[in-house]
Chain A
Amino acid sequence: MASLQTLHPLFNRDEVFEFLKPDIPPSLDLSRGIILYLEDISVSFDGFKAINDLNLYIKDGELRCIIGPNGAGKTTMMDIITGKTRPDKGSAWFGQSINLLKLDEPEIALAGIGRKFQKPTVFENHTVHDNLELALAGNKKVLPTLKARLRSEQQDYIGETLLLIGLGDRPYSPAGSLSHGQKQWLEIGMLLMQRPKLLLIDEPAAGMTHQEMERTTELLTNLAGEHSVVVVEHDMDFIRTIARTVTVLHQGSVLAEGSMAEIQNNQKVIEVYLGG
């Protein structure tokens, strides 16, 4: 009888084994007003600590700038958030409910985090329109993609985005023929097509002319509010024009955080970054 009792759970008719449960990531929960938690994150490459006990919180709808000298760990931090690099320790949560360390790149992208790379990475052989179409939010599994047809509201959204990024006049040019600045915008446009909640933008102003930079500023400030935006940038002028809150990274951890004025007067920051 006793042995039968130990077997009893196996006959439980409503038992659903762990491995049979569909792996649906929980939906984004922003009830505390914080969209991204990075806590005690450390990662090292061959003994070099790229990130060292990093703590960072991004509020919902915030536009945050992150600055820091080369090697401060800015790009590594983005790699961790988007699932490209796994930290050695620490935790990373997207809202209250989504554990980023358990997901891989496509899952994180589908959960609502979009990333723009430092070097503009668009699909050069595809047209501007196709670049946006590929980024379009929707079912990205194999067979639905094979059968996908653009619905009219999707077509409209592509049109709107084209206007927003200033490429409305050349939707059918190959992306490879665009100027450097236009590629940057196209990539930001691709992020928008994904309808992300959190945008990570790595050096959007790199290699841009002054006018292009102004347009980019406008674009990014428009995005904040509806989306949360994290911008990593080197160009201090650019940051001065968009920044509300600035975080300074140094040697893999947060050195200072505050408004641009506070940061500029912070003694530690002046020593390591602004060059005194």
Chain B
Amino acid sequence: MSSVRLLYNDKPGMVMLVLLAAAAVLVPLCNLGFPDGHLLHISTFTMTLVGKYLCYGLLAVSVDLVWGYLGILSLGHGAFFALGGYAMGMYLMRQIGDRGVYGNPLLPDFMVFLNWQDLPWFWHGFDYFFFALLMVILVPAALAFAFGWFAFRSRVTGVYLSIITQAMTYALLLAFFRNEMGFGGNNGLTDFKDILGFPLQSDVTKAGLFVASATALALGYLCCRFITGSKLGRVCTAIRDQEPRVRFLGYRVENIKLFVFTFSAVLAGIAGALYVPQVGIINPTEFSPLNSIEIVIWVAVGGRGTLYGAVAGALVVNYAKSYLTAAFPDAWLFGLGALFILVTIFLPRGISGGMTGLFRKRQEIN
């Protein structure tokens, strides 16, 4: 019932959730139910690709929550995504067992290669799925909490905050590149075999991951909608517009920012954890500042401050990227650049802003 109330004034959000539910049912059905070559068959490749986009969608929602509603332009959300991904990757590594290239039952391949004798302390516990799941949530949350504690308390805002979020993800990039860190160095973690006992190569597992991604996106969207629709959400937009005024009303701005920022980091971590089993690899380039900037571009293309716009932006930009790289291998970057320029000129408030603009115009004509 409460979710119905939540969506009462959110038609595009409702449309999106219906589409997501339909996709979560139909895509696996078409993939598993119809043989290859059948008209209605959806290839496993396509399903995994869309599943990946859905993870990006959740990541974009998490960025839109802090940027569109709280005014924090985070250029480091890729770090939380990657940390969630690494936590999941470590679980998947432990599931390999003695099926690695070196056949060592105790150590992952890269540790054998580095001549390590024991499992480092921080790898213990990742044999258990629930522990890994806990880490998927706790590790990004801890980083966001520690980072936000210092940044928001010392009232770092605007472009300075953006720069230090960027520095944070860059520092992690450099750290994870090092072999001594124990996360596989520049190769990262890969060669996964199965998850919860299901082989990752099978279509059924991939369909399951697809459904999980769609569900996570829907739930993440609803949680964010709950926050933005509450009084806290109105305080957040007030902070975005007039931070000092909110302080003089008696709100502890730093605590509110810390709460929302940490929550957003958890969403990004969950997105990363669902992304890794679908693409089959996690490596330090996920920490690259470029990735984080790209997320912001998705949100900007989709239109910030709407949540569903962020999802639309993530899907459109990533689909365009996949399409253009295949269709114009030499010129795809120009195509992507043109997309950004066209959106900025013709849809300054993004896809969602353009849609509501069109809708209003039609209402006025009627």
* A125 interface contact, C-beta 8 A: yes
Is A140 touching B250 in the complex (CB atoms < 8 A)?
yes
A217-267 interface with B by 8 A CB criterion: none
Is B230 touching A194 in the complex (CB atoms < 8 A)?
no
* A93 interface contact, C-beta 8 A: no
Number of A interface residues in the complex (CB < 8 A): 28
* B249 interface contact, C-beta 8 A: yes
CA distance A140 to B246 in the complex (A): 11
* B133 interface contact, C-beta 8 A: no
Residue numbers in A under 8 Å from B248 (CB-CB) = 82, 105-106, 109, 114-115
CA distance A122 to B248 in the complex (A): 12
Q: Which residue from A109, A123, A147 sits with its C-beta under 8 Å from B238?
A: A123
Is A106 touching B242 in the complex (CB atoms < 8 A)?
no
Max chain A Cβ within 10 angstroms of own Cβ: one of B234, B245, B247, B250: B250
Binds A, one of B183-191, B196-204, B252-260: B252-260
Is B256 touching A123 in the complex (CB atoms < 8 A)?
no
* B231 interface contact, C-beta 8 A: yes
Q: Which residue from A115, A124, A142, A194 sits with its C-beta under 8 Å from B255?
A: A142
* A212 interface contact, C-beta 8 A: no
Is B256 touching A109 in the complex (CB atoms < 8 A)?
no
Is A117 touching B230 in the complex (CB atoms < 8 A)?
no
Count of CB-CB pairs between chains A and B under 8 Å: 74
* B339 interface contact, C-beta 8 A: no
Residue numbers in B under 8 Å from A140 (CB-CB) = 249-252
Is A106 touching B241 in the complex (CB atoms < 8 A)?
no
Chain B nearest Cβ from A177, distance in angstroms: 15
A127-151 interface with B by 8 A CB criterion: 130, 133-135, 140-142, 145-148
Is A134 touching B249 in the complex (CB atoms < 8 A)?
yes
Is A133 touching B231 in the complex (CB atoms < 8 A)?
yes
Chain B nearest Cβ from A27, distance in angstroms: 16
Q: Which residue on A lies nearest to B239, using beta carbons?
A: A123
CA distance A245 to B232 in the complex (A): 41
Is A134 touching B241 in the complex (CB atoms < 8 A)?
no
Is A109 touching B241 in the complex (CB atoms < 8 A)?
no
* B235 interface contact, C-beta 8 A: yes
Q: Which residue on B lies nearest to A187, using beta carbons?
A: B245
With contacts A109-B249, A109-B250, A194-B249 known, is A123 near B237, CB below 8 A?
Answer: yes
Binding site for A on B (CB under 8 A): 227, 230-232, 234-235, 237-238, 241-242, 244-253, 255-256, 259
Binding site for B on A (CB under 8 A): 82, 84, 105-106, 109-110, 114-115, 117, 121-126, 130, 133-135, 140-142, 145-148, 190, 194
